Amino acid sequence: MAEFDVIIIGAGPGGYVSAIRCAQLGLKTAVVEGRETLGGTCLNVGCIPSKALLHASHALHDAETNFEKMGLMGAKPKVDWAKMLAYKDEVIGQNTKGIEFLFKKNKITWLKGWGSIPEPGKVKVGDEVHAAKNIVIATGSEPLHLPGVTVDEKVIVTSTGALELPKIPKSMVVIGAGVIGLELGSVYARLGSEVTVVEYLDTITPGMDGEVAKTFQRLLKRQGLDFVLGAAVQSAEVKKGKATVSYKLRKDDSAATLEADCVLVATGRGPYTDGLGLAEIGVEMEKRGQIKTDSHWQTNIKGIYAIGDAITGPMLAHKAEDEGMAVAEVIAGKHGHVNYDVIPGVIYTTPEVATVGRTEESLKEEGRAYKVGKFAFMGNGRAKAVFQGDGFVKILADKETDRVLGAHIIGPSAGELIHEICVGMEFGASAEDIALTCHAHPTFSEAVREAALACGDGPIHS
């Protein structure tokens, strides 16, 4: 029986990052992974492949709409779908092999197969049982299913099927206007599909700053996406390769149907803990199926920890990574910490949407006095030069102290710009601190500075 200081179950961003940090801290580390490749949902069927398709479809859109304006003439590119999928697979391969390389470099053992925990301190993989002083569960999540809608991963697909459709569908219904549905819906809309998004709530991207959500919906509409909001999907049926989605509008209970070549079910994800044997060893669970942990990611059983999508909190790769690093520090007897108040969220559409910290809605609800500094990308020279003047930066700061409480950006490179705010928030920055920091010209970042200026005496370029 092999013995390890730590065995991590699951090699997604939570698990593999945790393993690398454990190894760096001198712990003898193994990772159990049942998939053929490392990297979990994120690298295989999540963040990375979706971003590859987003990038390719944005490039197409740019060529179709902006090239001529810049004097770049020539035939418009045609889509070779098989080649685009091959590009996406190549990107996945490069990334998953990169993790294998890092495992070797850090002397991390990959125990190939599906793991379970027969008793505390033991992990079973296939017929072999391995001993571990500490076990970290990082088994991630799986797509949630909707009653009345049976996924076949051909016509009715989850995000996994949507990343490898045999051909670009003429029409697509996306059920759920969350991040995954909108990212993949916008990919197919750019590739020529007629995309209709059906959402139960009256707004897209629930929980997001309301003003950003409204602007985002308007811009997506302009790109050709249709929206049916406040609609409860009742069923989806496939006949002769075509799907019929039936829904009822919540406001008046009226029923309607939509036909499509493909239906993407993007109604969220739930924790995946199947086959681990957690009930048998008495691991406590949350009501919604996540593993219950304390503030050090330890379960109710000493020496068994859990991180990432399998526990509560935002289902994001970087949240899983941060927990992975922090739990490694805790296991090594150091201080592991994750600041859950400063976890950015990004939607990688064009324009991108990025958000961190408090929304106006939540500040109002709390009754906290705040001020808003806003700046539109229309006033940013760089954004106009690259046809990306849509959107704005909005910074929320405490009315009395000027401390930055949150930021919401819709516009070019929003997913990069947000990190200036994140660093500022980690250091307890005021909006004035950001406003007084010299920002290079011409950059999109100047819009962040202008929004910070708008929290004080006012921006320059509006």
- Contact residues for ligand FAD (CB under 6 A)? 9-15, 32-35, 40-42, 46-47, 50, 114-115, 138-141, 159, 180, 272, 275-276, 308-310, 315-318, 320, 348
Q: Smallest gap, in angstroms, from Cβ of residue 25 to ligand FAD?
A: 19
Q: Which of 145, 408, 439, 441 is catalytic?
A: 441
Q: Smallest gap, in angstroms, from Cβ of residue 311 to ligand FAD?
A: 8
Q: Write a three-state SS string for the chain.
A: CCEEEEEEECCCHHHHHHHHHHHHCCCCEEEEECCCCCCHHHHHHCHHHHHHHHHHHHHHHHHHHCCHHHCCCCCCCCCCHHHHHHHHHHHHHHHHHHHHHHHHHCCCEEEECCEECCCCCEEEECCEEEEEEEEEECCCEEECCCCCECCCCCCEECHHHHCCCCCCCCEEEEECCCHHHHHHHHHHHHCCCEEEEECCCCCCCCCCCHHHHHHHHHHHHHCCCEEECCEEEEEEEEECCEEEEEEEECCCCCEEEEEECEEEECCCEEECCCCCCHHHHCCCECCCCCECCCCCCECCCCCEEECHHHCCCCCCHHHHHHHHHHHHHHHCCCCCCCCHHHCCEEECCCCEEEEEECCHHHHHHHCCCEEEEEEEHHHCHHHHHCCCCCCEEEEEEECCCCEEEEEEEEECCHHHHHHHHHHHHHCCCEHHHHHCCCCCCCCCHHHHHHHHHHCCCCCCCC
Q: Smallest gap, in angstroms, from Cβ of residue 39 to ligand FAD?
A: 7
Residue 55 annotated to the active site: no
For ligand FAD, which is the closer residue by CB, 77 or 275? 275
For ligand FAD, which is the closer residue by CB, 34 or 120? 34
For ligand FAD, which is the closer residue by CB, 15 or 389? 15
Q: Smallest gap, in angstroms, from Cβ of residue 319 to ligand FAD?
A: 7
Q: Smallest gap, in angstroms, from Cβ of residue 454 to ligand FAD?
A: 29
For ligand FAD, which is the closer residue by CB, 11 or 395? 11
Q: Smallest gap, in angstroms, from Cβ of residue 116 to ligand FAD?
A: 6
For ligand FAD, which is the closer residue by CB, 67 or 110? 110
CA angle 169, 265, 163 (to 5 degrees): 50
- Taken in order 395, 400, 403, 405, the sign of the CA dihedral is negative
Q: Smallest gap, in angstroms, from Cβ of residue 123 to ligand FAD?
A: 9
Tokens found for residue 368: 């906290």
For ligand FAD, which is the closer residue by CB, 115 or 411? 115
For ligand FAD, which is the closer residue by CB, 50 or 298? 50
Report, as residue numbers or ranges, the catalytic residues. Answer: 441
